[in-house]
A and B are shown apart, each in its own frame.
Chain A
Amino acid sequence: MIEVSELTKRFGAVTAVDGITFTVRPGIVTGFLGPNGAGKSTTMRMILGLDRPTSGTAHVNGRPFRQAPAPLAELGAMLEAKAVDKGRSARNHLRAVGATIGVGRSRVDEVLAMVGLTDVAGKHAGGFSLGMGQRLGIAMALLGDPPVVMLDEPVNGLDPDGILWIRGLLKSLAAEGRTVFVSSHLMSEVEQTADHLIVIGRGRILADMPMGDFIRQSSQHRVSVMSPDATRLAELMAGPEVVVATADDGSLVVEGLGAREVGELAAANGIVLHQLVDVAPSLEAAFMELTAESVVFHGSVDQQAGSAA
């Protein structure tokens, strides 16, 4: 269990985390989603006690992490994969840090096997690929068999196999009753894994709800309709609950009416339809929309330009 309360972190003039409050519960995977610079890593660093909060508190299993009697066995975390000494082997890296809670060789080898690094356990970590480094970081997080696991962008640099593996791992960790907290800046990465979603943008919580609710809330269906008589159709569909927009290709995008209603309306008025499609927005789109105003770093090319109506 992770409980964050009124947590704020300022770096000089930048407010990286702005009074956020949330709880991460055991037994499920909680996705921590936000665009670049939203404050995910900063929040995680404060939970770990690496960064000192400007104000507010973060508790792990009911107390500040600093007070944990065996920290590595209470919260296993991976912040950056490459937080290792390049000159030390993977096995010695785990052995050294694990020694703080009395971890022995057999446990180290067990964890190395779990993440698939047995063959390179004796190799210097400096020579590891991004994916191998990521696996070593996950091994460190699991080393103490902790009830709380916190991973910052764990799928970064993993190949499709690795991504599948991580998804399975996160689910099984949660199924064992652990608290699993995973950050990402892509909805597609947590869509199939997370049971609960916390969305952060510019240091503020934008959504904190079960994944199912988020999906339901964001699947406001839209209908795309193409007709040679678009103008008349648009006039006929107009109403207080209905929003009609014209897309690039001249089709109408209708919000507030179903495909069936649009089709029947057209037939009743003798309007020819060339196309009538139900459009379910992707979760990615819903997430982007939610965080649109809070994106810190916009690309230099205006992203709206390409899709402007």
Chain B
Amino acid sequence: MSEQQAFAQGPEGLTDGFTARRTSQWRVLRSEWIKLLTLRSTWITLIAIVAVIIGFGVLSALVASGSVTPSSSNGGGPPTEAMRRNPLNTVMSGANLAVLIVAVLGSIIGAREFASGLIRTTFSAVPRRLPVLWAKLMVFVGVLLPIVLVAIVAVFFLGMSLLASADAQTVAWSDDGVARSVIGLGCYIVGLGVIGLALGTLLRGTAASIGVVIGAVIFVPALATALLPESWDEVLKYLPSNAGAAFTTASQSGGAMLDPGVGAAVFVGWIVLAVACAAWVIKRRDA
């Protein structure tokens, strides 16, 4: 492999035997890995994601099982009917919040270098540019997917055992669609982060991309579904969040949603679209 090929470029002089190596996708990946892990904010955000997924899940399970009574005015009193009936939603309440944090993290990772001007140094080191985008995506998915999946599976078993010990209704990992929707939710969270990252590099501003990914990708579909007449439902099903809901919820509510498999395919389609736009713009625009 050319990996070991050395470039004795510079004339003798300033260095003690330093030899540069060919810039490869692997080395760009290492570069992005170092970048991500040398920012304190990365660590804080990762801890926050795990804390929110597990913390809120456990808290909701305790509330639903009646061990803890919420004290706020509207949420007070005994566990609601909805909480009793949908144990999976209860336990995954933290994961639904983590979606926002991961999407924001993705946007920041995508836009941050454009804001600081570091991108010009980065593109001077990798003038072909696209390896930088691929590396950022790989590092993001490589770090977040394991963390989110472990946290989400952990909170599932933790939450269910809390519910079980209070004799509340539970679902089992082996129940129909449960494993799929739990794993699916983890992938959905990271997938939205990837869309955030793509939008961040596309829009080059953290605020703008956070706004777009949270507003247009997460909230607008929910709003549209609620507000538009039913005749629109066929179309709205294909929006990212609704396509995501198709494989992140265990129980299928009739024809209101796509099939899980189709939903997953549509969601992947959105990711590919966002990344493709980002790649096209990165390649073409002046840095």
Contacts and interface: CB of A to CB of B under 8 A. Distances in A.
Interface of A: 45, 48-52, 65-66, 68-75, 77, 79-80, 82-89, 92, 95-103, 107, 110, 114, 140, 142, 144-147, 172-173, 176-178
B120 A72 contact: no
B286 to A, nearest CB: 4
| Interface-centre pick from A51, A74, A79, A85 (highest chain B CB count, 10 A) | A85
Contact of A110 (B12, B15, B118, B286): B15
Contacts of A69: 7, 22-23
Interface string B34-62: 11001111000000000000000000000
A110 B16 contact: yes
B112 interface: yes
Given A83-B116, A87-B41, A100-B31, 8 more contacts: A72-B125, A84-B117, A97-B121, A99-B28, A101-B125, A110-B15, A145-B18, A176-B10
A176 to B, nearest CB: 4
Contact of B117 (A82, A99, A110, A172): A82
24 contacts: A45-B286, A45-B287, A48-B124, A50-B124, A50-B286, A51-B287, A69-B23, A73-B10, A74-B9, A83-B118, A84-B121, A86-B116, A88-B39, A97-B122, A97-B125, A99-B27, A99-B34, A100-B27, A101-B22, A101-B125, A140-B121, A145-B9, A147-B11, A176-B13
Contacts of A75: 124
A146 B15 CA distance: 11
Nearest to B16: A110
B110 to A, nearest CB: 14
Most chain B CB within a 10 A radius of its CB, from A73, A86, A140? A73
Contacts of A102: 20-21, 27
A178 B11 CA distance: 7
A71 to B, nearest CB: 5
A145 B10 contact: yes
B17 to A, nearest CB: 10
A89 B117 CA distance: 16
A163 to B, nearest CB: 20
B23 A72 contact: yes
A100 B23 contact: yes
B57 to A, nearest CB: 30
Nearest to B41: A87
B286 A71 contact: no
Interface of B: 7, 9-16, 18, 20-23, 27-28, 30-32, 34-35, 38-41, 112-113, 116-128, 284, 286-287
Contact of B14 (A65, A87, A140, A176): A176
A70 B286 contact: no
Contacts of A176: 10-14
Greatest chain A CB density within 10 A among B31, B123, B127 is at B127
B10 A68 contact: no
Nearest to A78: B121
A79 B120 contact: yes
B138 to A, nearest CB: 14
Nearest to B36: A96
A48 B119 CA distance: 13
Contacts of B12: 176
A154 B129 CA distance: 26
Kindly name the residue among A80, A101, A114 whose own CB sees the greatest number of chain B CB atoms within 10 A: A101
Contacts of B39: 85, 87-88
A103 B20 CA distance: 7
A84 B127 contact: no
Nearest to B7: A70
Nearest to B286: A51
Contacts of B7: 69-70, 73, 101
A16 B128 CA distance: 24
A204 B38 CA distance: 43
B127 A68 contact: yes
B38 A99 contact: no
Contacts of A144: 9-10, 20
Contacts of A172: 13
Give 10 closest A-B pairs by Cβ, nearest first: A73-B20, A102-B21, A145-B10, A83-B117, A176-B13, A99-B31, A92-B38, A96-B34, A177-B11, A49-B127
B125 A100 contact: yes
B23 A66 contact: no
B19 to A, nearest CB: 8
B22 A52 contact: no
Given A69-B7, A84-B118, A101 B20 contact: yes
